Amino acid sequence: MKKSIKKIVSLTKRKGFVFPSSMIYGGFSSTYDFGPRGVMLKNKLKDSWWKEMTRRQSDVVGLDSSIIMNPDIWRASGHLSKGFADKLSECKECHKRFKDLEEDGESIKKCPECGGKLMEPRDFNLMMKTFVGPVESEAATAYLRAETCQGIFVNFKNVMDSMRVDLPFGIAQIGKSFRNEITPGNFIFRMREFEQMEMQWFCKQKEADDFFEKWLKRRFEWYERMGIDMSKLRKNEIGEKERAHYAQRQVDIEYEFPFGWGEIEGIHNRGDWDLSNHSEHGEEDFSVDGDYPWVIETSVGVERCFLAFLVDSYDELEEGRSSDADKKETVLRLHRKLSPTQVAVFPLIKKEEDLVKKAEKIFDDLKVDFDAIYDETGSIGKRYRRQDEVGTPLCVTVDFDSLEDDSVTLRERDSMDQIRVDIDDLKNVVDQFLKGADFHSLGEKV
Ligand code: GAP
């Protein structure tokens, strides 16, 4: 089965994961809204990353800093200078700007849109500008953050002093970042507004190389634990010329998307670039025992990660596999910790009042602790397929035996195997399964 972005875009829209933004006004280039299922998947991704960083690693603490900060921060970090810019050619007539306009190694002189004359390529900064206060003047110009970590660097001393942490330690943050990308695209892969999950690890210079290796390994382990196909993941050591302006070493973690390999996460050794620059330009000395700490950073885009997990889990079965299936079926084989809905509850027959009552009661009970859904329309086979398509790992069916013996059938998405579980024990069984227990160990096979 060949995976295509077109099919995945269609599924995500149809099933409430991702909607193109501003559609009733004709859309807005490369912006997307996350629907109910998209929010649930995004939140689970973020929750898993957060726990990985701040629980598994006890010396990483959290932060939530502002999106709009003092613009001097971006001067000190180098983002307002050449380091964070794209070389673009602007058309003298229509003023559109273009990147990488070359043919046979020669730069193109005519605008591809209107045929007007193109100016020599110039640097255009990627920072998104805004104005703070009532006057739109140069002095009131501010920027939407282009990476979350500058908020971490400027709070380095606040965190150290208030949390009594000592080197080595880390600060983690999840939040929106903005870049005026010239060529956004590939669905949610490159956007102008996106979310980052970043962790800055502060350590002594002599420990930096070892910590780089450690974090690189840890990040691969996380992807593996979250069920990604590891043959679709690779490291890309970035050469000196291509590296970000702050990086002494950069390894990108790339996923093989249907449109090719693409970076989903960057591991960077930022040296003392940030803390020394902020110490020089700001009013705080960030040195510790006379030296600036070095920083190893792990930085992953939530939406790119979301797309990688969606592509990875997407499966299509030509023949269908439920007994009443007559056509192609789609299964989203998402890791059980990521599935938007964790458990679905069905009465076998909608018209049987006793079955419906019992199923509703079970649903009311489950939804307090889990992301549960109730569905009574269509055949059982159809209802299973509906849940398979959105990645729900467990389905509970209340049948006539349930009225006699207070047990239900629990069906697992990937194996389609079914076990019988006592209703009294159902919450515990679902909980054990979501924590990783083997499905077959949780009840008697039907
Ligand atoms: N603080 C380091 C930093 O921001 P980066 O490589 O520029 O490094 C890190 O960005 C991650 O943020 C990328 O690996 C990617 O997942 C995500 N990202 C960057 N630009 C993006 C964009 N325009 N749209 C979506 N995600 C983006």
Task: Summarize pLDDT for 268-314 with one digit per residue, the tens.
Answer: 999 999 999 999 999 999 999 999 999 999 999 999 999 999 999 99
Ligand 1 centroid distance, CA of 197 (Å): 9
Q: What pLDDT shows up at residue 83? A: 75
Q: What single-letter amino acid sits at 403?
A: L
CA of 167 to the centre of ligand 1 (A): 26
C-alpha distances out from residue 222 to 49, 67, 197, 214, 427, Å: 8, 27, 13, 12, 27
The whole-number pLDDT of residue 28 equals 92
Mean per-residue pLDDT, 316-321? 77
Cβ of 152 below 6 Å from ligand 1: no
For 154-177, write each residue's pLDDT tens digit: 999 999 999 999 999 999 999 999
Q: What domains sit in the chain, N to C, each tagged with a CATH number?
A: 5-72+139-310 (3.30.930.10), 318-445 (3.40.50.800)
Q: What is the pLDDT of residues 341-359, one digit of tens each?
A: 999 999 999 999 999 999 9
Angstrom distance (rounded) from CA 297 to CA 244: 12
- At 100-113, the pLDDT tens digits run 777 777 778 888 88
Q: What angle do CA 157, 291, 270 make, to 5 degrees?
A: 75
Stretch 365-372: mean pLDDT: 98
| 20 Cα distance to chain centroid | 17
**Which pLDDT band, with edges at 50, 70 and 90, does 323 fall under?**
low
Q: Does the pTM of the predicted model rise above 0.85?
A: yes
Are 30 and 9 contacting, i.e. CB atoms less than 8 angstroms apart?
no
Q: Is the pLDDT of residue 325 over 60?
A: no
214-260 residue pLDDT tens:
999 999 999 999 999 999 999 999 999 899 999 999 999 999 999 99
| Cα separation values, 267 from 21, 80, 167, 205, Å | 31, 22, 19, 16
Question: Which ligand 1 atom sits closest to the C-alpha of 250?
Answer: 6
Closest residue CA from atom 21 of ligand 1 = 190
- As a whole number, mean pLDDT of residues 128-133 equals 95
183 versus 423: which is more confidently predicted? 423
Q: Would you place residue 322 in the very low, low, confident or very high pLDDT band (cuts 50, 70, 90)?
A: low
- Residue-level pLDDT at 326: 58
- CA-based R_g, the chain, Å: 26
What's the CA gap between 334 and 341, in Å, rounded?
11
Q: What's the pLDDT tens digit per position in 17-60?
A: 999 999 999 999 889 999 999 999 999 999 999 999 999 988 99
Is residue 181 in contact with ligand 1, taking CB distance under 6 Å?
yes
Pair 426, 343: CB distance under 8 Å: no
